[in-house]
């Protein structure tokens, strides 16, 4: 993970059921960007956030394209989600 941001909109209370909605953004590089909204039982936005992940090999060397197996799985997931 190379970036993380979160914006708190209102407090969540102990025992409150929260729903996390996560989306992935398409990129042309080995970067994966996820955004999420945390919504309370009443449907009101509690928090929103974003994470950016960069893929490296086992030696920590930056990969400029997604490995084929990851690209294939990501495409299947996005097709399933209709993205």
As for how many domains the chain has, the answer is: 1
Which carries the bigger pLDDT value, residue 58 or residue 18?
18
Query: How high is the pLDDT of residue 6?
Result: 97
Q: How many other C-beta atoms lie within 10 A of the C-beta of residue 45?
A: 14
> What rounded mean pLDDT belongs to the chain?
88
Q: Per mean pLDDT, which range of 18-22, 26-30, 44-48 is the poorest?
A: 26-30
Q: Residue 25's domain is classified under what CATH number?
A: 3.10.129.10
Q: How far apart are CA 1 and CA 54, in angstroms?
A: 6
User: In which band, very low, low, confident or very high, does the pLDDT at 28 lie, cut at 50, 70 and 90?
Assistant: confident
pTM beyond 0.75: no
Domain range for 25: 3-81
How many CA atoms lie within 13 Å of 6's alpha carbon, on the beta-carbon side?
8
């Amino acid at each position: 993970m190379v970036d993380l941001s979160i914006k708190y909109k209102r407090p969540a209370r102990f025992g409150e059921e929260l729903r996390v909605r996560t989306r992935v953004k398409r990129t042309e590089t080995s970067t994966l960007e996820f955004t999420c909204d945390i919504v309370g039982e009443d449907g009101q936005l509690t928090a929103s956030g974003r994470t950016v992940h960069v893929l490296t090999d086992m030696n920590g060397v930056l990969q400029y394209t997604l490995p084929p197996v990851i690209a294939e799985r990501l495409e299947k997931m996005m097709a399933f989600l209709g993205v």
